[in-house]
Amino acid sequence: MSSTDTLMDSMSSACSEALSRPVRLEVARGGGSSGGGGASVSAATDSESGVKYFIKKTSAGGGGEQMLRAEYLGVKEMADTHTIKVPEPIAYGTHKGTTAFVVFEYLDFCGGGSQYELGKQLAQMHKCFSPNGNFGFHVDNTIGATPQPNIPWDHDNWADFWDEHRLGHMLKLTGDAGLDKSTVKKLRDKTKELLSHNPQPSLLHGDLWGGNKGFAKVPSNGDKISPVIFDPATYYGDREADVAMTYLFGGFGPDFYRGYEDEWPLPEGHEKRKTVYNLYHILNHDVLFGGMYLSQARGMINKIMKD
């Protein structure tokens, strides 16, 4: 790399290597926003082919490089299932050791689309199971900007994985949510009891709130408006965790749940486990934003203890 190379030059080089053809990226309109974890999102066009791409970039320091690499690997894991549409991951890398980037297929997001198909295709992705039969993933990633531990990828017991890598992790980050040690122990014991249903380790999006799904015209599918999910916190876990989060902040209608149930009905007891799974995200919101979320988390903890 020359000392005069720009960020676009570095991204062009990474794409050229990944696609085995010359790529020359130039700034394009569209896509400008803040992405998950604080990365900025923009668009670029390849002047060689006219193809447009989404670009996410952030500082390579402070875990930024690892965050975008993990996102690339997580989206690739979902793309390789050929079930639900995701922005195809193209390349990732760094520029002069200071800026990390990842390049994705550009999608033309639009209104409309079938929530029924969204639910059905999510269930189809959930039928893709961990290749080693264990819970976790081959890389740690982030949930928003918060570190999310997934390794070692050797847990065959779901309740233990959730206690160590999800609930226990968030309790550490929130100072045990202000609870005394006795209450924390009771919460963790009760949670493990509720999660003793032995689910299969399904491929999960991991951060499936309404803002991380949409609909887009997909050229490879005849410009049909297709469901899309993006900005994941991918790992292999209980599929109920993905479905539970869809209830937190809205954006998913009755047709979504009907589509999911028609493809793969949820097992008995999933309603009780929903609060357990969503507590993780509310504790994470306390880490990220503070404010009212700790009070909401305590209300959820009380509900879990009573179930």
Q: Annotated catalytic sites, by residue?
A: 207
CA dist 23 and 27 (Å) reads 13
57 CB-contact burial (10 Å; exposed 0-12 / middle 13-18 / buried 19+): buried
Element (H, E) at 29: strand 25-34
Residue 155: DSSP 8-state? B
Residue 219: DSSP 8-state? G
Angle CA 293–187–206, to nearest 5: 55
Q: What is the DSSP string of 182-251?
A: HHHHHHHHHHHHHT-S----EEE-S---GGGEEEEEEGGGTTEEEEEE-S---EEE-HHHHHHHTTTS--
CA dist 248 and 14 (Å) reads 38
Assigned token pair, 211:
């803002």
Element (H, E) at 92: strand 89-95
29 CB-contact burial (10 Å; exposed 0-12 / middle 13-18 / buried 19+): exposed
Angle CA 50–51–57, to nearest 5: 120
293-306 vs 181-194: helix crossing angle, rounded to 10: 60
CB 188 within 8 A of CB 167: yes
Q: In this structure, are strands 52-59 and 99-105 parallel, antiparallel, or unpaired? A: antiparallel
